[in-house]
Amino acid sequence: MSGKVALVTGGSRGIGAAIALRLAEDGADVAITYVRDEAAARDVVGKIEATGRRGLAIRADAADAAASVAVVERTVTAFGRLDVLVNNVGVGVLGPLDQLGLDAVDQVLDVNVRSVFLTSQAAAARLGPGGRIVTVGSCMAQRVPGPGGTLYATSKAALIGLTKALARELGGRGITANLVHPGPIDTDMNPADGPFAEAQSAMTALGRYGSAAEVASMVGYLAGAQAAYVTGAEFSVDGGHAA
């Protein structure tokens, strides 16, 4: 990916940070977005720069429609081009159906669906032949193992239709769009030694949590030249959660 530029939304921690670092290690300059933790974002930029690539942290709230669009132009202004968009930003709100109020619905759909659409739309205007859009979904778009996931699963399932439509819309320009579904992944938001870890591990065929680097490896493949004939597809990195 030498000479390429990537934008990773929600790239200051967890899966997003691992993706940003993987793309930098593969040769890309990488911009990341964050909403609160500037120190964490700067740390990721430092790791990107340690690979010899350029890094940029952009503060942007994905719940803000204008901000979701502006991050693309800020990346292009800083680096001169855009080749890869990774839609990683997302929020998880779980709870009983009768306790999910309008504020929760708006928050989840604004961040998990609207922002992905708007950022992809803005990126599509900047991507050239060989461009890549990779979106991070969830294993809960394919299998909801228990109650409490209606809102989150709805938002992640919407990304399936969006990805397939983007593939059709942009395929004639040589741009691909694909979707990665992580399963239980060891992050600070859902640690492998946390209170829900045993139950979540038991839902997988491998009986364990995955690592952020394992998800990043799939994204790195889809963002690279070897995946030029792969588009409109879903890839599960879930340890067999959906098996």
Residues annotated catalytic, as ranges? 152
Distances (CA, A) of 154 to 4, 73, 102, 135: 33, 29, 14, 15
Amino acid at position 99, single letter: Q
By CB atoms closer than 10 A (0-12, 13-18, 19+), residue 64 is: middle
> What's the token pair of residue 235?
């890839």
Distances (CA, A) of 214 to 21, 38, 42: 12, 25, 23
Question: Cα–Cα distance between 14 and 213 in angstroms, integer?
Answer: 9
Question: Cα–Cα distance between 241 and 198 in angstroms, integer?
Answer: 14
Neighbouring C-beta atoms of residue 221, cutoff 10 Å: 18
The contacts of residue 168 (CB under 8 Å, 6+ apart) are: 232
The contacts of residue 1 (CB under 8 Å, 6+ apart) are: 23, 26, 27, 28, 83, 84, 223, 224
Question: Cα–Cα distance between 183 and 240 in angstroms, integer?
Answer: 8
